[in-house]
């Protein structure tokens, strides 16, 4: 079991939005899908594009560099050119604080 780290406040992440955070040396993309927060690695497995800057449609983020799609709930890659999934992190909301678990 890892340690939870505060990365944002709920007011900073509106539904349908994403943002980049860094925790313990990990670049993480944080997303709000209909009021639930999810976190995945911020680096696309194709060419390293910043997933936090991609467009979010439902629970799917599209890499802004080459168009690979990922499920922000699981980190699973959904379309090429990404060859592999990205790491998914546990998220919890404590009051107004959004926290991500790092192992």
Q: Which of 57, 53, 40, 44 is nearest to 83 (CA)?
A: 44
What would the pLDDT profile of 49-98 be if each residue is shown by its tens digit?
Answer: 999 999 999 999 999 999 999 999 999 999 999 999 999 999 999 999 99
User: Which residues on adjacent β-strands are paired with residue 39?
Assistant: 30, 89
State the CATH class of domain 3-102.
mainly beta
pTM of the full structure: 0.95
Pairing of strands 91-94, 55-57: unpaired
Question: Which SS3 state, helix, strand or coil, does residue 82 take?
Answer: coil
Residue identified by tokens 């546990």 is: 90
**What tokens does 98 get?**
């959004």
């Amino acid at each position: 079991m890892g340690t939870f780290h505060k990365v944002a406040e709920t007011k900073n992440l509106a539904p349908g939005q994403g943002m980049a955070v860094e925790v313990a040396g990990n670049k993480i993309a944080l997303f709000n899908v209909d009021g639930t927060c999810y976190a995945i690695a911020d680096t696309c497995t194709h060419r390293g594009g910043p997933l936090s800057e991609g467009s979010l449609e439902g629970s799917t983020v599209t890499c802004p560099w080459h168009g690979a799609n990922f499920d922000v709930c699981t980190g699973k890659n959904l379309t090429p050119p990404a060859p592999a999934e990205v790491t998914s992190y546990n998220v919890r909301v404590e009051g107004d604080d959004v926290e991500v678990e790092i192992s």
